A and B are shown apart, each in its own frame.
Chain A
Amino acid sequence: METLSVAPKRVEFQVDPNSYRHLRLKIDGEVATIEIDIDENGGIKEGYELKMNSYDLGVDIELYDITQRLRFTYPQVKVVVVTSAKEKIFCAGANIKMLAQSSHQWKVNFCKFTNETRLGIEDATNNSSQVYVAALNGVAAGGGYELALACDKILLVDDRSSAVSLPEIPLLGVLPGTGGLTRVVDKRYVRRDLADYFATKPEGIGGKKALSMKLIDALIPKASFANDVAAYASDLASSITKDAPVKGIELSPLKKVIDEDLISYDYVKVSINRGLRYAEIAITLPDGISAPSTIEVAKGQGENFYLLSLIRQLDDAILELRTNEAEVGTWVIRGKGDMGQIVNFDNLILSNRDDWFANEVLHYLKRTLKRFDVTSRSLITLIEGDNLLAGSLFEVALASDRIYHLIDTEDELANANFMLTKMNFGPLPMGNGLTRLESRFYGDTSSLEKVEEAIEESIDGDLALRLGLVTFAPDDIDYEDEVRLCLEERASFNPDALTGMEANYRFVGPETMETKIFSRLSAWQNWIFYRPNASGEEGALRRYGSGLRGNFNKERI
């Protein structure tokens, strides 16, 4: 169903490659090229022009769509060249006027999504042998260079004027928040004092100096740029071995129906309670759907393969709610259906990990679960009768801030239970590199070992409580009230404090580049965004392009 016409302000994440406005995807055997050619007048909101190949959420939605199609529809692709179709400019990053006019919530959500897509690019490089190469045919500034940083290799045209830069601090008074500060030192190993110099130099650094500082991997002469990039890509492709067919599977737009308080897909239904500001997300497995006996059968089902279809719907529902329902502060998740089938699906995927399709489904599931981890909403999972959330889907519960497990004392046959599978013990790590169970039982190996012993065992509320797998297991007399009180209480707290608390508790243990981007970099950025020095009337971000400089409160905080 067409939704934009119903609610024009609503952002739609489902896009059709035939109607991209900003990006072009070209496939040439094992090499794909993404051409950035942003339509100045194609902003997703009014009030700004996307000059100099600058981007907004609408552009990034297309980019995300491309990265997904490359993995599912063009699995034979080994190298993805990201370049620009505009002269002398690769990409100027996020549009400044757009940032200056956006609400704090919009900026933060936009940055989160763009960060996820860039981490997705690295995930493709690491786990799908799709190596991204940034071919910078001109200036790559701010978010433009950050996009290049997400690629495995960065090639810069050597024309004595093109440079890479992170000018956010000197020009805008904010941070390069799409992984820029993190990747310069954590991924490209630029020395910290040189990185400091680089990030405070608005015109950036080009040529041999950029190469010697490790900001880029190669300089390409201007005259032979196109040919040299092509040769580089094809050499790189031939060095990569990958067993995947030429043709993958098509991804057509999801069927979804949006009503005022309802977003409904085939297997995911979202209904919103506006009074208490929560969304119920129901995940279902209809009767009659079962795991295919072989991965070939699954591939034959293509986009209709239940697990893939479900992940796509969940992915879209997450993005919908995050972007279009900012005030809906709590997500209540339930699953209904035969969880035995989920166990079968898990086994099918895990016993075919060498297969490109099983591999893509697995990593897509991993990425989608990671979206839950970094979502600034309270996540509450309910394990009730006829529960579907087992194995891989129980990861949604483990991503939640609380789990309520119903103990039905009236009808023991209808009692709620769940099951763990191998999926819960490694294949679906969080951004911190740990499984959700390792995170849950951080510093408590004996509990984790007990949980491991319960693999593929039916776990009811009493056992779940004993094993520490659920927060509370109220019986049918208390259950409804406990859940209601929890939701009402949640709705009464300061949403900012909840976001902060949840983000802290969800990520225990080690830091990775990924967690640094979502915690350290984003948290600082979100603070700076909100300070008058950036976003006040006289702040640098607001004044950018006006001819006036930012007027700062000089205190160091």
Chain B
Amino acid sequence: MAIANYDEKIPNNVDLGEDRRLKRALESWQPNFINWWKQMGPTLPTEDVYLRTAVNVGRDGWAQFGHVAMEEYRWGIFLAERDRDRKIAFGAHKGEDAWQQIPGEYRSDLQRLIVIQGDTEPASVEQQRNLGLTAPSLYDLRNLFQVNVEEGRHLWAMVYLLHAYFGREGREEADELLLRNSGSSDSPRILGAFNEETPDWLSFFMFTYFTDRDGKYQLGTLKESAFDPLSRTCEFMLKEESHHMFVGTTGIDRVVRRSCEVMAEHDTYDISQYGAIPLDIIQKYMNFHYSVSLDLFGSEISTNAANYFTTGLKGRWAEESHDDDHLLGSSTVEIEHVTDAGQITSREVSSLTALNHTLRNEYIADCENGVTRWNRVLEEFGIDFRLRLPATSFNRRVGIFAPIETKPSGEIISSEEFEASRDMYLPSQSDKTFVRSLMRPVYEQGKIASWIAPPIKGINNHPFDYEYVHLA
């Protein structure tokens, strides 16, 4: 397949038109990507969507708005501007020039990191493909599609790295990224959390708030990488990722607000009969999404993470802001510990092996911000109920707490007791059925579903009732 003008068709700042290797990538991979998008992308047929397209990394270039047909979305390839003096900030190579090529020694590890990151990007598009059918408003529909095309672009970004730096093996991995599918029994996505369908919009908002935030922290550590093209790619991706989290934060905010309004109107907690979502169900959804997102950080004690740090592949969040030697050869950190008797105590371990733990804690602090914000809405309405993050030990399948069960409060309970109370902590079948019953599409301009409040403002200074999506 011949593509007439690469630079025009695919906005980029990587000299696409001049690079034989990338041209080949486009010729072989791009048609497969478009096929994948048609088969696994959003199911709701649309004519066009009011989308933001990045055409450059600069202030003016990264957010160009307009109505585009999604298949013709210009998935670009962008790396943040190169700092020619950039030095490696940590690990055994600290102080050396950042790598512009992959050192053969670290090829496999880097490739693995990029493949795992890359695999999550199309996975979320697949998980969310049916949500358009139940969108609460055109505004939300547009946001969903914006998130989707950007996840597609992030896939492109990872595929660019695989094609540009990893040779034949990289190309094979890039192909595999399109062949694995979320929830497929034969070839599922790599990480378990990305094989669950996002069944409803409350889950979608939770996902963009909690799970995309895990992505933000993973990208943040890769942004520190000694491998400069990876670092620059992730830096630009982080910018887009923050929009996804905005969708999550404001989405949950608006659900809470609507629930408050209905509670105030009818003076009851039991608002399900009025088509709004009771606060305890919101809490249970939070419990679920938060705990599975914590699992994505991997084992708290990890020699892999330690190796990645020492070899310079993956740093800490905002590495250069840490006031230490950036080698972590001898420092230690206090970390939770589950004794053989099943008690939670703490113990001291090498900071180097506890990097996943440290990153996870930064994530937890970040998650608290949203909770504070939603509780302010409750306060505003004079409602006593408060949303809260469950304990770190709650509902964990990975890491230190995997062998035990606790209540959301952190109190240790037997697994029998946990199973018996599961429906009190996590969304029950009837909760899910109820939430799904509310999911009826509202495609009328300026209208919105019963269970969510409209946003305070629209996109790019347009009002809420703007024609964000033209359905087919």
Contacts and interface: CB of A to CB of B under 8 A. Distances in A.
Contacts, number: 35
Nearest to B171: A478
Contacts of B24: 477
Given A477-B20, A477-B24, A489 B107 contact: yes
A491 B21 contact: no
B97 to A, nearest CB: 15
A491 B105 contact: yes
A255 interface: no
B96 to A, nearest CB: 14
A209 interface: no
Contact of A488 (B20, B21, B103, B168): B103
B112 to A, nearest CB: 14
A492 B104 contact: yes
Contact of B168 (A482, A484, A487, A490): A482
B66 interface: no
Counting contact residues on chain B (CB < 8 A from A), the size range is 10 to 19
B102 interface: yes
Contacts of B21: 477-478
Given A477-B20, A477-B21, A477-B24, A489 B167 contact: no
B104 A478 contact: no
A372 interface: no
A492 B101 CA distance: 16
A488 B167 contact: no
**Dominant SS among interface residues on chain B:** helix
A485 B102 contact: yes
Counting contact residues on chain A (CB < 8 A from B), the size range is 10 to 19
Nearest to A487: B104
A474 interface: yes
Interface in A444-500: 472, 474, 477-478, 481-482, 484-492
Contacts of A492: 104-105
Nearest to B104: A488
Contacts of A481: 101, 165, 167
Nearest to A481: B167
Contact of B104 (A474, A477, A485): A485
B105 to A, nearest CB: 4
Contacts of B168: 472, 474, 478, 482
Nearest to A476: B20
A545 B167 CA distance: 59
A487 to B, nearest CB: 6
Contacts of A478: 21, 167-168
A504 B254 CA distance: 65
A404 to B, nearest CB: 11
A474 B167 CA distance: 8
B312 to A, nearest CB: 13
Among B21, B105, B108: residue with most chain A CB under 10 A: B105
Interface string A485-527: 1111111100000000000000000000000000000000000
Contacts of B108: 489
8 contacts: A472-B168, A477-B20, A477-B21, A478-B167, A485-B167, A488-B105, A489-B104, A491-B105
Kindly list the 8 A-B residue pairs having the minimum CB-CB distance in the complex, ordered from nearest. Answer: A488-B104, A492-B105, A489-B104, A485-B104, A478-B167, A482-B167, A477-B21, A481-B167
Interface of B: 20-21, 24, 101-105, 107-108, 165, 167-168
Given A485-B104, A485-B167, 11 more contacts: A472-B168, A474-B167, A477-B21, A478-B167, A481-B167, A487-B104, A488-B104, A489-B104, A489-B105, A491-B105, A492-B104
